[in-house]
Amino acid sequence: MRNDFTVSTPSGRRRVAAEAGETLARALFRAGFFVGVPLCAGLGRCGRCRARFLTEAPPPRPAERRRLGSEELAAGYRLTCLHPALGGERLALDDPGPAPAYSRPADAQPRLDSAGPLGLAVDLGTTGLAWRLLARADGRVLDEGRGVNPQLGAGGEVISRLAYALEADGGDYLRRLVLDVLVRLVAGAGGPVTELCVAGNSAMLSILCDNRFPDWPGPRIIWPGRPARR
């Protein structure tokens, strides 16, 4: 059963698909909203998933009374992580979250060039993602940058992330978010990337490599176009 709803943002209006029992915030995250935004995984604490109901708003929960002011509640604002999608809602989302950027630090040295093959090293943390572009011939660091882990909308800590990954299609969605970042980094490398190495804690690598505990064999190096190897 589908309980679709409509969301309006400063850039336009979209119809969002929601499964039965799914919260509005979870459906929004699956639809590409809140990517890279550190949400509290449905605890009603962070307040970052607030949206204004253009249809009749549901009664506020205690967490909303604590987090939102009386004026916001009267205007129809609610925390979308606390309300299931019933179908037919019309929401206004003031801030869908910025697209995560993986830019060079302000104090970084000017980018170096290399005519040979390149390697991309990525540190995939629970909340952040850092990368370095290296010349494979001599190991020189040619460029580097950092940003947030795009999976943050599923929760800012490991347990929430794993719980989301175990939901139907949850792991696939989280994996695609990171793979999209890796593809963009490779595309912007300015040369052939022949080796990609991703390091991270067991939970992040398990999600990325589509391995579920307790069968997780340990960290792996991922090579483009080849099977992952230990």
Read out DSSP for 86-108?
-SS-EEE-S---PPP--PPPTTP
Specify the pLDDT at position 114: 64
Spatial CA neighbour of 167 closest among 14, 2, 13, 22: 22
Residue range 71-106, pLDDT digits in tens: 999 999 999 999 999 999 999 998 766 666 666 554
Mean pLDDT within 184-194: 89
Query: How many beta carbons lie within 10 A of that of residue 18, not counting itself?
Result: 23
Query: How many beta carbons lie within 10 A of that of residue 163, not counting itself?
Result: 14
Percent of the chain with pLDDT over 90: 45
Work out the mean pLDDT of the chain and round it to a whole number. 84
Beta bridge partners of 130: 123, 146
Specify the pLDDT at position 36: 83
User: Rounded to two decimals, what is the model's pTM?
Assistant: 0.75
Residue range 124-179, pLDDT digits in tens: 999 999 999 999 988 889 889 888 899 988 888 899 899 889 888 889 999 999 99
Residue 150 near residue 120, CB atoms below 8 Å = no
Spatial CA neighbour of 41 closest among 202, 206, 163: 163
**Angle between helix 158-165 and 170-187 (nearest 10):** 110
Q: Of residues 102 and 215, which shows the higher confidence score?
A: 102
HEC profile for 202-230?
HHHHHHHCCCCCCCCCCCCEECCCCCCEC
Percent of the chain with pLDDT over 70: 82
Q: Kindly indicate the confidence band of residue 230, based on its pLDDT and cuts at 50, 70 and 90.
A: very low
Specify the pLDDT at position 38: 82
Residue range 66-77, pLDDT digits in tens: 999 899 999 999
Specify the pLDDT at position 212: 58
Mean pLDDT within 187-214: 85
The pair phi, psi for residue 5, each rounded to 5°, is: -145, 175
Lowest mean pLDDT of 7-11, 35-39, 130-134, name the range: 35-39
Q: Of residues 204 and 104, which shows the higher confidence score?
A: 204
